[in-house]
Amino acid sequence: MGRYWTHSLRSSDDHRAHVMRDYLRSAAHNNALWCDAVSNAQGAPGEFRQALWLNRFGTPPGYPNVVTLAPVEAAVEQIEAVNSLVRSPLHAGWAVKDSFRSLDLRSLGFTVLFDAEWILRQPAVGDAQGSPAGLSWGTVRSEADLLLWERAWAGEAATAATPQIFAATLMSHRDVCFLFAPAAGVPLCGGILNKGAGVVGLSNVFHTGVDPEIAWRGLVREAAKRFPGLPVVGYESGEGLAVAQRVGFQSVGPLRIWLKP
């Protein structure tokens, strides 16, 4: 009897680990789809390969030129692709999103910008109900409102000379939502949802004058309303990771951002 239960527990653990690896791959693929959409909207499309997404033309500020889509088994192919970009006339200051924290790019002149964790929240009954703290959530519909949204997200870093990252054409994507909860017409908090790879990506979360946990819970509700039944994924570190975990997200794997100075 004891052997049976031990075997059952091991099988259960193996199954859970397999499911988490699948979610990790989905999270990385979803993020690559979003990076591609943002870059493509700026006239700089990327290309998908089996083990990575890459962009040869330059990406908007804060977006990588490479997102890996497979773990360490594909490291040789991924490093060769990164090396080809290193040898190209690509502008300086570009980055690689090492989605499985499985590469060592120091020999190619990269430094670690930061580490983070992929996060996952499974859909739950009641996610789409209510509105926390009475916040009224909406979707950006106009180019002027998109500019307001981006400035609110950028916060103090935004200036009149800051180039716009998110092109207006992104609003026409049926699987993309720029969300915000306003006060006096100005976004207090917000985030972006993008559906793809069987999950919903949540990114660019911001909160000004709002409890971060309230903002995150509101975004989870909006994801459940707009894309019912789908898991929500993203990546966070530090306090953002702690807040996400308090509202029901779990870590599913590490990632690393490498920067080419």
pLDDT band (50, 70, 90) for residue 10: low
> Which whole number is the average pLDDT over 3-9?
59
Cα–Cα distance measured from residue 198 to residue 236, given in angstroms and rounded to the nearest whole number: 20
CA dihedral sign of residues 55, 98, 78, 84: positive
Give the pLDDT of residue 33. 98
Cα–Cα distance measured from residue 107 to residue 100, given in angstroms and rounded to the nearest whole number: 19
In this predicted structure, the answer to whether residue 7 has a pLDDT above a threshold of 60 is no
Give the pLDDT of residue 11. 65
For the chain, give me the number of helices (H) and strands (E)? 5, 11
pLDDT band (50, 70, 90) for residue 155: confident
Give the C-alpha distances (Å, rounded to integers) separating 44 from 34, 38, 39, 95, 175. Answer: 13, 9, 5, 16, 20
pLDDT band (50, 70, 90) for residue 65: very high
Q: What are the extents of the domains in the chain? A: 2-117, 123-230
The count of C-alpha atoms lying within 13 angstroms of the C-alpha of 57, restricted to the half-sphere facing its C-beta, is 13
> Which whole number is the average pLDDT over 75-95?
89
In this predicted structure, the answer to whether residue 53 has a pLDDT above a threshold of 60 is yes
> Which whole number is the average pLDDT over 173-181?
95
pLDDT tens per residue, range 127-142: 877 666 668 899 999 9
Give the pLDDT of residue 60. 92
Return the structure tokens found at 147. Answer: 């500019």
> Which whole number is the average pLDDT over 158-171?
82
Pairing status of strand 232-236 against strand 111-121: antiparallel
Give the pLDDT of residue 127. 81
Return the structure tokens found at 161. Answer: 């000379």
pLDDT band (50, 70, 90) for residue 161: low
For residue 110, list its beta bridge partners: none
pLDDT tens per residue, range 90-103: 766 799 999 999 99
Among residues 28, 45, 37, 30, the alpha carbon closest in space to that of 171 is found at 37
Among residues 199, 220, 203, the alpha carbon closest in space to that of 64 is found at 203
pLDDT tens per residue, range 203-214: 999 998 789 999
pLDDT band (50, 70, 90) for residue 218: very high
Per-chain mean pLDDT for the chain = 90
Give the pLDDT of residue 3. 66
Give the pLDDT of residue 126. 80
- Report the topology of domain 123-230: Aminopeptidase (3.40.630)
In this predicted structure, the answer to whether residue 162 has a pLDDT above a threshold of 80 is no
Say if residues 29 and 196 touch (Cβ distance below 8 Å).
yes
pLDDT band (50, 70, 90) for residue 232: very high
